Amino acid sequence: MAKGKVQSGAFNPRDLARHPSPLTPSYRSSVLRAPAHARISFENSLSEITGPVFGQGLLGPADNDLTINYAQPGQSAIGERIIVHGRLLDEDARPVSSALLEFWQANAGGRYRHKNDGYVAPLDPNFGGCGRTVTAQDGSYSFRTIRPGPYPWPNGGNDWRPAHIHFSVFGDGFAQRLITQMYFQGDPHIQLCPIVQTIKDPDAIDQLTAQLDMDNTVPMDAIAYRFDIVLRGRRSTLFENRLEGN
């Protein structure tokens, strides 16, 4: 931005060169999802650059603790206990406060609590697999959960999804709506995953990978991982092979 120029409320254009192609045949679902026509660009509308607004009153007392928010009294979810934390930033590295983050995941065995999940791994009766939180003034967020397991999926015969946590983020405007997922540092399944292989920029894959954070690990309790999320811009966090809110 030029010196002295006042920044408008509109968001910067997408950097399409950073994102994967919508059509990647090795990721079979993209064949059905890819658009049949060329993109059409429009200027941001007022509704895209304003709202929605969320408050702390939406949250329950254990919404950001997946180890207990579905568990019976005195019980806890089974699995490796972890803390996921980071900051939500905009394209100019400014914190995005009071933003709603929703997250969902498979259990430690790699199974979702969903009627359409046919994986043979057992369900954990004390794990629901979803939660939410609101970012603080400095854009920070944190929640507790268990590390999810990898699971097979019917893509290429013997494909497995890396362990991951899904995120849904509402920023300062609807144009900042983002749905993405977080992988874990050191997971060997990341480079083998056909979805990840659609991303040609190694830095973009790194940005989707949470880093082990021993400084915030709680001894004898939970390992910490840091995952910063950037909304709308050249360094925005990706959503697989689709430009969802970017």
* Catalytic residue annotation: 112, 151, 161, 164, 166
Rounded to whole angstroms, the Cα distance separating 60 from 143 reads 13
Q: Which two tokens stand for residue 4?
A: 């002295």
The contacts of residue 162 (CB under 8 Å, 6+ apart) are 150, 183, 184, 187, 189, 190, 192, 193, 196
CA dihedral 228, 237, 241, 208 (to 10 degrees): -30
Tokens of 189: 């399944």
Alpha helices in the chain (DSSP H): 29-33, 46-49, 202-207
